[in-house]
A and B are shown apart, each in its own frame.
Chain A
Amino acid sequence: MDKKKILVADDDVSINRMISFKLKKEGFEVTSVFDGKEALTAFNNSDFDAVILDIMMPAIGGLEVLIKIRQGKPMLPVILLSAKSTERDVVKGFEMGANDYLSKPFRPAELLIRVKKLVGD
């Protein structure tokens, strides 16, 4: 069976590595990007089974990336990561079409469960 492909976008190098380490270990193929612009380029250049998006990234934020993703792929599973956990942010994320939302700090194991659920693994 082909490996499922996940795009991970977080500007913090360590958090990004932590996520991709966990996902790779579970058999996913991971593309790591470190800002919104890179995320859009990666999204336009290849097909992913799910996207993990940090909301607060320099230049182009996660929510903006999400809008662009939704224009091209309305059904692609997207999980938002955010340091904010206020209702307004969570609601905004869901309204813009996110499938799930995890606030920082989070456990990689929990993120893994949510990714698996969304990609039907």
Chain B
Amino acid sequence: MKETHHSNELDLLENADNFRSILAQIGDGVYITDNNRKILFWNSACEEITGYRADEVTGKRCADNILVHIDMAGNKLCSTNLCPLHRAIVTGQPSKTPLTVRAKHKNGNRIVVEVSVAPVRNLAGTVVGGVETFRDVSGKIELEEEKARFFASLSHDLKTPLTNMQGYLDLLLEGDAGELNDIQKEFAETIYSEEQKLANLIEELLEMSRLQSADFSYEQNVLDLSVLIKKVVHSFLGEASRKGISLEEYLPENITVIGDGDRLWQAFSNLIGNAVKYTNRGKVEISSIYLPGQKEMVIEIKDTGIGIPPEDLDKIFKIFYRVDNNETISIRGTGIGLYIADSVIKRHEGRIEVKSIPGKGSIFKVFIASYNESEANEGR
């Protein structure tokens, strides 16, 4: 074993002198490890960001209390399959999007770093190690957290009056406070639908600010997409039954993916919510296609709604874009929902495809990488 490591090390550092001087001066922290994540190279930005000198860490494993990665939800990643460097080494794939994690400076201060990883190959193409680059984003994160707190309280403060307006109007319209005459009913209904528009606008604006404020702190957790989508479906059952359409899901017990639960919830909530919103009769169905051996899952959201004109199909994922015609004019919306769904799925290294026939309905297909336990099963 020892000899193999040694020769890997040599392979890795062949011609390294040139690289060393280049990497040493780079403003981002850069370190290189062997396949066991033992540190071979540690540049001066690493020293500055973490407080550890190169001679202190060389030969040690990065997980040995040097640069312990803790995700934003508080899970320690180093000893799990989710360690980004471990995944890069095992899968041979670089990270496509930077991961934001917490770590500790040598002096005990908590820092937040944005991490990118890639495997390092020798001339024969064999993975012999990994490289991680990181930058200190602590200041940025602090500001973002403040922003998030602000929006959480704003959200609460906006929703309380909305809940009252909608609730009491509902009591009036249901006749709970005595029967209304036709004109009273019409007026109350007008207030109700205007209030709904307002509620929807506020919801989407809050969603967008939430999405933007946490744009670079996507979490990477192992989660069951099936359970998540089932709960989203559950949350729209009321609206579907009010509209007299059926909303059903045919998902398997378990769809394991790596991702950010909150963001995926937003994405599927927007897609399914849209399907319900733009379907006035018939049904909305959610199903999945999983081909064994494939790395991708397809979640299909199919509706019998008003459909999307062909000329609008390539624009619907643009921010603030709305299909503008007689059929959509009465339907509330800001043109943010699909934009959010699309950006979330893209951040999960997936994509959304759409097919639609006006008057017949639409099919949205969400392609997302499924997580295979065996692919990265010996994280230590």
Contacts and interface: CB of A to CB of B under 8 A. Distances in A.
A68 interface: no
Contacts of A88: 261-262
B52 interface: no
A12 interface: yes
A83 B155 contact: yes
B234 to A, nearest CB: 9
B171 A21 contact: yes
Nearest to A11: B160
Nearest to B263: A87
B163 A22 contact: no
Contacts of B176: 21-22, 25, 108
A33 to B, nearest CB: 17
B257 to A, nearest CB: 13
Contacts of B171: 18, 21-22, 108
B170 A87 contact: no
A104 B265 contact: no
B155 A106 contact: no
Given A87-B231, A87-B265, A110-B238, A105 B152 contact: no
Interface residues of B, number: 28
B43 to A, nearest CB: 36
B159 interface: yes
Contact of B174 (A12, A56, A84, A109): A109
B265 A108 contact: no
A87 B228 contact: yes
B303 to A, nearest CB: 22
Nearest to A94: B231
A86 B160 contact: no
Interface in B135-179: 152, 155-156, 159-160, 162-168, 170-171, 174, 176
Contacts of A44: none
A104 B231 contact: no
B199 interface: yes
Given A83-B160, A84-B152, A87-B228, A106 B167 contact: yes
Contacts of A108: 167, 170-171, 174, 176
B262 A86 contact: yes
Given A22-B176, A86-B262, A91-B261, A104 B170 contact: no
B262 A87 contact: yes
B264 interface: yes
A105 B210 CA distance: 18
Nearest to A19: B167
Given A21-B176, A87-B231, A87-B265, A107 B238 contact: yes
B243 to A, nearest CB: 13
A18 B167 contact: yes
29 contacts: A12-B164, A15-B164, A18-B164, A18-B168, A18-B171, A21-B171, A21-B176, A25-B176, A83-B156, A83-B160, A84-B156, A86-B210, A86-B265, A87-B228, A87-B265, A88-B262, A103-B235, A104-B159, A104-B160, A104-B162, A105-B163, A105-B166, A105-B167, A106-B163, A106-B166, A107-B166, A107-B170, A108-B170, A109-B170
Given A87-B231, A105-B159, 8 more contacts: A15-B160, A15-B164, A18-B171, A83-B159, A87-B261, A88-B261, A106-B163, A108-B171
